[in-house]
Amino acid sequence: MIDLLSPVGNFESLKAAIQNGANSVYFGADLFSARAFATNFNINELEQAILYAKTRGIKTNLTLNTLIKNSEFNQAFLLAKKAYEFGIDAIIVQDLGLAKQLIKHFLNLDIHASTQMSIHNLQGVLEMQNLGFKRVVLARELSIQEIEYICKNSNIEIEVFIHGALCISYSGQCLFSSMIGGRSGNRGKCAQACRLPYELLENNKQIDDGYLISPRDLCALDFIPDLINAGVTCLKIEGRMKSPEYVATVTRIYRKYIDLAESDEKYIINEDDRKTLLQVFNRGMSSNGHLSNYPNKNLIFKEKPNNMGLFLGNVEKYNKNKGYITVKLKEPIEIGDTVSLENETGTYNVSELMINNKNAKETSIGQTVTIGRMKGNINLGDKIFKMSSKKINLIASESIKSEQRKIPLNCKAIIKKGYPIQLNVTSANNLDIYYGLNIICKSNIIPEEAKNKPLEKEKVFSQLNRTNNSLYEFKNIDIELDNNVFLPKISSLNELRRNALNLVYNFATNNAKRNGKDIAFDKLQKSNKTLHYEKTISLLLNILNSTFDYSKLKNIDNVYVPLKYFLNNIYDNIIQTLHKNFNLYIYMPTIIKSNYINIFYDGIVKAVKKYNIKGFILSNISNFSMLENIINNKNFELIANYTFNTFNSYSVNELKTLKFNRFTISPESDKEIILNLCRSVMTFYNLN
C-alpha cells in the first residue's frame, strides 16, 4: 500500500491527519525545521506527538531539514537522538554532514534526503542510495515520466509531493529571500519573496505587473493512479503552516482517491471533492504543477499570492447604508461561511442571508441572494469569493473528536467463583509495537454464588465491548464464566477493561521507545599537521564573448567555463585560448534533466580529449555520479560549487570522502560560518 504522508504543525493538526487516514505524518521540532514559523513541537510535545501516532500504527517523520552551523551541530544531533529515543521512524535531512552522522550512528533509523537537497534525476538518487539514505524526497519539478524512470531504475524509496504550495525555484537552490530579506529558506526562514508584486520591464518600459513569480498551488488528484503505477513509495501533502481543518480535509480526500486507485474500481473523480480541496485553500485554483509530461504554461497566478477561495459571483446590487450585497451564486453559501471581496483585504463572516427578502440559512447555485452586514470598499461588479465553508470545517472538526484509528485486540475474561476476575489481552494486529502483547489484568473483586439473578455472558460482553472513547477495540472476546455467578459490582468489569487497556498502552509506548544512551556523534579532532595552500584567483565566465580576446586576461590562475560552451563548436577558439593560458575547469549545471544526461556526458568526454581540462566544478550531488567513470580514469580536481550549501566542517569532511579537493562557500554564509569552514580546509580532520 502506498504511503500517504500528511503535514503537522501542531497537535490538533496531528489528530486531523491521523483521524482522516494518513499512513504517516511529518512535523518539526522548535529547532532546525524548514518551517521555522510553524508552531512546531518542543521536546515534551515531540514525545507525545510521536507516541500518539505510533500507538495508532502511524509512522512519524521529523523534519530536521535546515543547514547546520558548526556551533549548532551538537544541538542538532542531540535533537535527533531525543527523537530516536522517543521512537521516531525517520528523519528528513538537508545537511549532508548531519545526514551522514545520523546514518552512521542510528542504524535502525531511516534517514530521508529532503527535497531541499535538489535531487532531480536518477544519478542524484543513485548517489543518495550509495550514501546510505533510505528515501529521497524528489524535487517538485519532475514529470510523471521522469519520476517513473527514477523509480524503475533505483532501489531506494521515492517520495513525491502531491498537494500544496509550490516554489518558483528548486528547493535548496533559492537565495532570493536571503538576498533581499536577509532570511534564508535553507535555514527555515523564507520570506516568500516570490509572493510579492513585481513589474516586468522591457527596454525600461513596463509590459506586465502583478505577482509575476507566484506559482499556483499543486493539486495532483488526477495523477494518483499514475504515481502509484510509477512505483512511488510515498505521496506527500504540503502544509505544515496550514490549519487543522485544511489538514483534515485534504488528507481525507486523498485517502479516498488513493484507496480508489488501489482498488479494482474505475478511477473517477467526483468534482465536488476537487472543489472541496480548492475551498480549503488554493492559489489560482491550483494546477498540476510539473507532473504532466507537457510544459505547464499556466503555472503562475499573477492576480493574488494567497488563498483565493471559490468565485461566488459579482456584486449586482449594493445598499451602502444597510450593508446589503446582492449576488447571483456560482457556489452555494450558508450562515457561518466567510467571504471576501476583490478590493478588501479581510474577510466577512456571513451572519445574515436573505432570499426574496426572507431569511435563509443555506442556498444553492443559481439563486440570487442578499448578504447582510457587508461594509467597506465595495462597488458594483466587484468579484466575491467564498473563503471558507462552515460545512467543510464542521466535518473536519468532527473527525478529530472521535477515534477513527482503533487498534484491534483479543481478550479473554475469566470469571470464577472465589477467584479475582481476570482479563487476558493479546494483539490482533501486525504492528511491531504490539508484537508479543500478553497482558494479564486482575481485579480485586471476587465473584460470589448468585442468590437471585446470575451473571450472563451477554452482560459481560456488553461491558467489555464499551471501548467507544478508547484507542483500542476488542476484535474477539472470549468469556469463561462459571455457572450461577454474581458480581458485587458490575462496574468492576469497566474498571478492569480500563486498567487492562492502560497496560496495553504502556506496553506499546515502551516498545516504541529506544535506548540511545551510548550514541554520540564523531567529534572532529585536529591533527598537528596544518596545510598551507597557495592563494589563487579563479574566474567564472558565465557568458563567453566571441569578440573579446581572452589571452589579454591577467592575474588569473583558474578559469571556470560552463558546460554548454564545450558543446558548441563556435566557442572552440576561445576555449583553446583559455586552456593554453589558464587552468581550465568545466563548470557543471545545477540541474540536469534525465533526457540531457547522455548528450552532456558525450560532450564532456569529447572536451576532456580535446582540451587540457584541470577539473570540474560540480553543482549537484548528481554530477558526481554522472562523471564517475570520467573522474576515475584521470586525476581531475573536483570543486564543490556553492550550490552544495556547505555550512559545517562535517559536510566538508564528507566532500573530502567523496574526493572533492575544494568547495565554494555559500553566499548565505556569515562570518562565523566562513571562519569555521576556512579552518576546516586549512587543517586535517580525523574522526574518532
Could you report how far apart the first and last alpha carbons of the chain are, in Å? 42
CA–CA separation, 423 vs 499, rounded Å? 10
Site of grid cell 504502556: 506
Identify whether the C-beta of residue 317 lies closer than 8 Å to the C-beta of residue 380.
yes
Q: Three-state SS for 317? A: strand
CA 300/CA 571 separation, integer angstroms: 36
Q: How far is CA 213 from the centre of its chain?
A: 22
Amino acid 534: pLDDT: 79
| Residue 160, in any domain of the structure | yes
What pLDDT, on the 0 to 100 scale, is given for residue 656?
92
Q: Distance between CA 579 and CA 559 in Å, rounded?
A: 9
Same domain? For 549 and 642 the reply is yes
How confident is the model over 476-501, as a mean pLDDT? Answer: 94
Q: What is the pLDDT of residue 684?
A: 44
308-339 pLDDT, tens per residue? Answer: 999 999 999 999 999 999 999 999 999 999 99
Contacts 24+ apart (CB under 8 A), 606-612: 606/566, 607/566, 608/634, 611/566, 611/575, 611/576, 611/579, 611/584, 612/579, 612/580, 612/584
50 vs 65: CA distance, rounded Å: 18
Residue 665 is classified by DSSP as: P
Determine the average pLDDT of the residues in 423-444: 97
563 and 486 fall within a common domain: no
Q: Is the pLDDT of residue 375 over 60?
A: yes
User: CB neighbours (10 Å) of residue 494?
Assistant: 13
Q: What is the pLDDT of residue 317?
A: 95
Burial track 384-422 (b if 16+ CB lie within 10 A, e otherwise):
bbbbbbbebbebbeebbeebebbbebbbebbbeeeebbb
- Using the Cα atoms of residue 43, residue 45, residue 46 and residue 52 in order, give the sign of their dihedral: positive
Give the mean pLDDT of the chain.
94
Instruction: Check which CATH number belongs to the domain holding 32 and give it.
Output: 3.20.20.380
Q: What is the pLDDT of residues 342-370, one digit of tens each?
A: 988 889 999 999 999 999 988 999 999 99
Phi, psi (rounded to 5 degrees) for 391: -65, -45
What number of H helices and E strands is found in the chain? 20, 34
Are both 411 and 391 inside the same structural domain? no
- Cα separation, 366 vs 410, in Å, equals 54
**Would you say 179 and 151 are in contact if contact means Cβ atoms under 8 Å apart?**
no
Q: What is the CATH number of the domain that holds 646?
A: 3.20.20.120
Tell me the average pLDDT across 113-137.
Answer: 98
- The more confident residue out of 271 and 687 is 271
| The pLDDT of residue 402 is above 50 | yes
Cell 535533537, located at residue: 79
If you ran DSSP here, which 8-state letter would residue 546 be given? T
Residue 457, domain member (yes or no): yes
Determine the pLDDT at residue 523: 84
For the cut 60, the answer to whether the pLDDT of residue 659 exceeds it is yes
Residue 40 zone, left/alpha/beta (φ > 0; ψ -120 to 50; rest): left
Closest CA to 147 of 160, 166, 165, 163: 160
Mean pLDDT of 191-206: 96
**Burial track 259-287 (b if 16+ CB lie within 10 A, e otherwise):** ebbeeeeeeeeeeebbebbbbbbbbbbbb
Residue 595, phi then psi, degrees to nearest 5: -75, -5
Confidence at 526, pLDDT banded by 50, 70, 90: low
Domain endpoint, select from 237, 262, 280 = 280
| pLDDT for 687 | 45
Residue 633's pLDDT band, with cuts at 50, 70 and 90, is confident
DSSP type of residue 642: G
Residue 296 lies inside a defined structural domain of this protein: no
Rounded Cα distance, 284 and 297, in Å: 13
DSSP state, residue 334: B
Stretch 645-671: mean pLDDT, rounded? 93
Q: Mean of the pLDDT values across residues 235-262?
A: 97
Number of C-alpha atoms within 13 angstroms, CB side, residue 541? Answer: 23
**Residue 640 belongs to some domain of the structure:** yes
Angle between helices 144-152 and 122-131 (to 10 degrees): 40
Distance, CA of 135 to CA of 496 (rounded, Å): 44
On the question of pLDDT at 683 being above 60, the answer is no
Q: Give the model's pLDDT for residue 688.
A: 37
547-552 mean pLDDT: 95
Burial of 192 (0-12, 13-18, 19+ CB in 10 A): middle
Q: Is residue 333 within 8 Å of residue 350, measured between CB atoms?
A: yes
Half-sphere CA count of 506, side-chain side, radius 13 A: 8
134 and 249 both lie in a single domain: yes
- Same domain for 442 and 357, yes or no, is no
Query: Is residue 334 located within the same domain as residue 452?
Result: no
Of the residues 512, 545, 575, which one is the last residue of a structural domain? 512
Number of structural domains, the chain? 4
Question: Within this chain, do residues 241 and 357 fall inside the same structural domain, yes or no?
Answer: no
Out of 32-46, 488-502, 627-641, pick the least confident: 32-46
Last residue of a domain, one of 512, 543, 563: 512
Q: Sorting pLDDT into bands at 50, 70 and 90, what band is 37?
A: low
Confidence of residue 682 (pLDDT cuts 50, 70, 90): low
Burial class from Cβ neighbours inside 10 Å (0-12, 13-18, 19+) for residue 312 reads buried
Question: Is there a domain that residue 394 lies in?
Answer: yes
Question: Does any domain span residue 302?
Answer: no
Q: Are residues 346 and 436 in the same domain?
A: no
Q: What mean pLDDT is predicted for residues 14-32?
A: 95
Residue 104 belongs to some domain of the structure: yes
**Could you tell me which residues come within 8 angstroms of residue 291 by beta carbon, excluding any fewer than 6 positions away?**
142, 143, 144, 147, 218, 220, 223
The predicted structure's pLDDT at residue 469:
86
Q: Is residue 478 part of a domain?
A: yes
**41, 185: one domain:** yes
The string of DSSP letters for 425-463 reads: EEE-S--GGGTT-EEEEE-S---EE-SSS---HHHHHHH
**Residue 389 confidence (pLDDT):** 97
Q: Which of 582, 559, 562, 583 is nearest to 571 (CA)?
A: 562
Residue 33 scores a pLDDT above 80: no
Regarding whether 82 and 181 lie in a shared domain, the answer is: yes
Pairing of strands 135-137, 348-349: unpaired
Residue type, 463: Q
Residues 231 and 344 grouped into a single domain: no
**Together in a domain, 159 and 271:** yes
Name the pLDDT band for 537 (thresholds 50, 70, 90). very high
* Distance, C-alpha 35 to centroid of its chain: 10
List, for residues 575-600, the tens digit of each pLDDT value.
999 999 999 999 999 999 999 999 99
Q: Please give the average per-residue pLDDT across 233-246, as a whole number.
A: 97
The pairing of beta strand 407-415 with beta strand 348-349? unpaired
Range of the domain at 233: 3-280
**Percent of the residues in the chain that have a pLDDT greater than 70, as a whole number:** 97
Using a 10 angstrom Cβ sphere, with 0-12 exposed, 13-18 middle and 19 or more buried, the burial of residue 589 is middle
